[in-house]
Structure 1
Amino acid sequence: MNFLFYRFCLEICHIITVIVISIHLDVIAVFYAIWLGLFLISSRRFIKRIWFIYIFFQIVLFSLQYMSAVGAPPFLCFEYSWTNVNIQGWSQLKRWLYLPDYIDSPEATHLFTDFFQFLFSCQQWHVFGYETNEKYRVYTDAGGSNREIIYDYNIYKNNPTWDFVTTKRHMLDRIKYAIFMYGRWIVLSIVYLAGITRISLFGLGYLIACFYFLWYAHDFLTKRVTVIFRLWNYFIYYCFFVIFIKTCLQVC
């Protein structure tokens, strides 16, 4: 448990990004969604190289959002050029673009989620530092390597992980057993609910994916690891596609 964040920090950052996107639903969310899509199709090594750019992007974007939420001081008598625009749907477009306004100012509470996203991103940067710096070798030896082994010739060779499926030593092993054995069914149940609660083409895609995985049931886990990994990635890509399209359509 001490190395939970060390092992799953990148996945936690992805979850936080999705939460930020679902709360913003504006042009800021589109930018974050583009970054999320880039991370989903990239290897961990490539993500490690561009992570500092991502952090710098968050710093700049957070500063711009703060200035937009606060706005110009009223005593300057500065008038925004988009204040008197009388185009149909402009008010919604203005909120989507997160433009400052004296009367209808942007939601400043969105900055709370951006702060936590930046906080977790900085922690992930430290994790990347632990992985590459020999000075922190003691942490990587204790927590294990985060190297991707999915494409290794024999991924089961010299597996140091305790077999918590056949032998459960304590309550933590039982929790891990429940997550690894029944987590997929919980995910498919949520996907099914997402498909039937919203009648749309996106919901149809969720239902097709759900019934595809349910058709194979436990036999799906008997496929080659690379095949399982590829099929599940396709499903994740579709979920990202739905999030990205819905975020872009909020401007309408």
Structure 2
Amino acid sequence: MYKVLMIEDDAMIGDMVSMYLGEEGFQVIRKENGAEGVVAVRQFAPDIILLDLMLPDMDGLELCRHVRQTSGVPIMIVSMKSKVVERVKALGAGADDYMCKPFSMHEMSARVHALIRRSNTYQKVVDTKRAPSAVLIENKLEVSEELLTVDKSIELNLHTRSMLVRGHVVETTYSEFEIMKCFINNPGRVFSREDLLQTVRGFDSYVTDRAIDVHIANLRKKIENNPKEPQRIRTVWGVGYKYV
């Protein structure tokens, strides 16, 4: 049984979502403010978080950033704010999806299923196949059963879906992880924004060229010594990005 944590102060919406997802076999708990939500993330260990942006005690984006510092759990924003800039801010804060109120319960349920399914995909692949990926000798790409790396300073653990940067674990969203996996699998190859859109489509239900730029900016902050002068994720003007 998958566990859903809903951080939402609107009792009516909370009750409807809890009832609907409960009938579909999810275990759902709701917290009415951010402080209780933070505690629940640790104690309840949810498989997905449904997060309202306007909470009585803190900004939802602040809470999203806080959770993302220590957890890779899928986060879906559920908010009255419908402007594109709000969606972009949410992606920048580490959210994986965004739904505007009012919304279809059927669509919400489908997105919850999709995010959880995709978050577990690579875990299942590793557990069942336990096979190493292809090796690109000329680019010094090294792949073990679990680790994907080019030069040891940045490693992707496919088993835990975590990224190590110079020996330290750095949390990523699912979309960020997929983009990094794509880069490390193909060092030197130039990817257009459309290529990267196809890589993350399904993780982000609302995904645009601008969203890709946000993901790249976030990754640079996490892996580059100086994000303003990136040495690893390079911009190829007029085309897209490549990993050096």
**TM bucket, shorter chain:** under 0.3
> Which has more radius of gyration?
1
Which structure would you say has the larger RCO, counting Cα contacts within 8 Å and 6 or more residues apart?
Answer: 1
Q: Which structure is higher in strand share?
A: 2
Give the alignment's TM-score, normalised by structure 1.
Answer: 0.25
Give the alignment's TM-score, normalised by structure 2.
Answer: 0.25
